[in-house]
Amino acid sequence: MHTPGSERVFSDRSVEIYYGDIRDQNSIVSACQGVEFVINLVSTITPTRGSDMLSINVVGTANLVSAIENSGSVKHLVHVSVLGANDNPRERYFFSKWKGEQEIKRTRISYTIIRPSVITGASDRFSNLLGSLVTLFPAVPVVGHGRNRIQPMVVEDFAYCVVASLGRNDLESKIIELGGDLHLSINEMIDYIADAMGRRRIKIHFPFWVSGLVCSLMNIFMTKPIINRELARMLSNRNVTDIGVAKSVFGITPKAFSEDIHHLTGMNVKNATDHLFRNSDKRLETPKNRE
C-alpha cells in the first residue's frame, strides 16, 4: 500500500498491510515474500509531480515482476491492464499499459492479464464525474458526439472475476478482455444517471480539441485535475469487448450499470463541487455505504 492511512478501506483487520512504492523495487520485495498469488492493480492515468505513466505503468510493473521472481514463492500473477491497450505511442495511456503487459509476458512466473473496460462504483472517478456534471449543470458537457460505446462493469463483479482468475491453469498466459452487461454510449450513461437523480438534462457536445484546451487549463490551475487529455481520449474512443466473457469464463452475469448508480442519488452541490474542483475522494453518504 502506497499511502499510509488508506488501509481504512479494509473492514477485515486481519489483512496484513505492507507500505511501499512500486517505483522502488526494494520497498516491495518484502511484500512478495512467502506469497503464493499476486494481483497487480497499480496504475495511473493522471501523472503528478514525481510520477508519470511510464514510471508507474511500465517501470513499476517491471519492478514488481522482479520482486515476484526473486521471492521464489509466487505461483500466479494476475495483472490488471486496460481494454484498448496497444502499441501506438500517440495514445500514451494505452501505450504505457501495453508496455506494462510486455513486462508481464517476459516473466517466468505463471500469469494472467485482464483488460477491463471502465470500472464503476461508489468511489470511482468516472461515474462520479458524470454525476457531478449532471448535478451542477443543466446542460452537460460531452467530449465528441457522445455516441462512442464503452462497457462499464460494476466493481464488485470485476473484483470477483479477478479473484476467480487466481490459480486457474486454463487462464495461464492469456489476456482476458472484460466488461459489463451492455455496450453503452456516454449519452446513454448520462441519461441513466440523470433519471436516477430525478433530473432532466440536455447535453452540449464539444470537439476533442476543446476538451484538450480545458484539460491544459486544468493542469495549470489544479494539482490533481479531474480529467486530462488521456482520460478524455479514452472516453471519446470505442472501448468494448464481447458481452458474454464474464459469463463464459467466470460464470457470472454482470450487474447492469443502471442498477448500480444508487451512490449518485445522494449527490448534492457540495459533493459535486468537491469532486470536480477540490478533488475530494470521499465516498458519498448513502444508506448503503453508511452500513
Are 53 and 79 in the same domain? Answer: yes
pLDDT digits (tens, 9 = 90+) for 20-58: 889 998 889 989 999 999 999 999 887 666 678 999 999
Domain that holds residue 200: 122-150+182-239+251-284
Beta pairing class for 37-40 and 119-120: unpaired
Of the candidates 67, 93, 116, which is a domain's last residue? 116
Given a contact cutoff of 8 angstroms between Cβ atoms, the answer to whether 134 and 194 are in contact is yes
What nine digits make up the cell of 82? 486496460
My answer on whether 128 and 266 are in the same domain is yes
pLDDT level of residue 285 (50, 70, 90 thresholds): very low
Residue 3 lies in a domain: yes
- Are 193 and 76 contained in the same domain? no
Domain end marker among 100, 116, 132: 116
Q: Which of 97, 116, 135 is the last residue of a domain?
A: 116
Half-sphere exposure of 233 (CA within 13 A, CB side): 15
Residues 111 and 10 in one domain: yes
Query: Is 163 inside any structural domain?
Result: no
Which ranges of the chain would DSSP assign to H, the alpha helix?
Answer: 25-32, 53, 60-71, 92-105, 125-136, 155-165, 186-197, 208-221, 229-236, 245-250, 269-273, 287-290
Q: What is the mean pLDDT of residues 89-117?
A: 95
Q: Answer yes or no: are the C-beta atoms of 179 and 83 closer than 8 Å.
A: yes
pTM over 0.85: yes
**So what's the pLDDT on residue 208?**
74
Q: Which residue has the higher pLDDT, 34 or 215?
A: 34
Same domain, 215 and 266: yes
CB 246 within 8 A of CB 161: yes
Whether 221 shows a pLDDT value over 90: the answer reads: no
174 belongs to a structural domain: no
Residue 201 phi/psi, 5-degree rounding, is -135, 145
CATH code (residue 59): 3.40.50.720
Q: Is 258 in the same domain as 144? A: yes
Q: Evaluate if residue 215 carries a pLDDT over 70.
A: no
- Do 133 and 3 belong together in one domain? no
Under DSSP, is residue 114 helix (H, G, I), strand (E, B) or coil? Answer: strand
**Is the predicted pLDDT of residue 236 greater than 80, yes or no?**
no
CATH number of the CATH domain containing 271: 3.90.25
> Is 160 a domain residue?
no
- Domain-embedded: residue 262: yes
**In this structure, is residue 19 part of a structural domain?**
yes
Q: Higher pLDDT residue, 277 or 121?
A: 121
Taking alpha carbons only, the member of 6, 2, 44, 19 closest to residue 282 is: 6
Kindly state whether residues 128 and 233 are assigned to the same domain. Answer: yes
In a domain? residue 166: no
Question: Which contiguous run of DSSP H or E holds residue 140?
Answer: strand 139-143
Count structural domains, the chain. Answer: 2
140 and 98 within one domain: no
SS3 of 239, please? strand
Residues 212, 182: Cα–Cα separation, whole Å: 28
Based on the fold, state whether residues 77 and 137 are members of the same structural domain. no
Average pLDDT, integer, range 99-125: 94
Residues 95 and 13 in one domain: yes
184's grid cell: 453503452
2 and 143 belong to one structural domain: no
Output the pLDDT for position 291. 40
Lowest mean pLDDT among 29-38, 48-57, 161-170, 231-240: 231-240
Q: 238 pLDDT band (50/70/90 cuts)? A: confident
Residue 159 lies in a domain: no
